[in-house]
Amino acid sequence: MLQGIRHWFQRRRYRVGKTVSCFIARDVRRDVEIVATHRLKKGFITARVRTTNVLYQMKALVPESEFEAAREIALVDLWNWTGHSWGGLEDRTSLVGTDQSSKTAK
């Protein structure tokens, strides 16, 4: 019964053509454009993903990112963030203290 309700919510949230967004860190937003959901009951979707540091983008420290190529993603890994809790970049680096941030701060 509970699994049926969970699948109903997943079908409703992950519809083909829909873009789902979520903040995965304080200043990092992940946008997911759903391409296919034929394996949704098994916990997988095919989607295009874009991860953006909103603060860096607002200050024009990084260009606006594009969606990656479509790939199959497990739902449990979809909102997983491997960077710092305060954001930064996904490779655990930061633009704070670099020449780029000091130029825009002046």
Q: What is the pLDDT of residues 66-105, one digit of tens each?
A: 999 999 999 998 888 887 776 666 565 665 555 444 444 4
Asked if residues 86 and 26 have their Cβ atoms less than 8 Å apart, the reply is: yes
What integer pLDDT is reported at residue 71 of this predicted model? Answer: 94
Q: What is the C-alpha separation between 33 and 31, in angstroms, rounded?
A: 7
3-state secondary structure of 37: coil
What integer pLDDT is reported at residue 13 of this predicted model? Answer: 87
- Reported as a single tens digit per residue, the pLDDT across 36-68 is 999 988 989 999 999 888 888 888 888 888 999
- Reported as a single tens digit per residue, the pLDDT across 5-37 is 888 888 888 899 999 999 988 888 999 999 999
- What does the block give as tokens for 24? 């995965």
pTM of the model: 0.72
Asked if residues 56 and 95 have their Cβ atoms less than 8 Å apart, the reply is: yes
Q: Does residue 106 surpass a pLDDT of 80? A: no
Using the Cα atoms of residue 10, residue 11, residue 16 and residue 21 in order, give the sign of their dihedral: negative
Asked if residues 28 and 54 have their Cβ atoms less than 8 Å apart, the reply is: yes
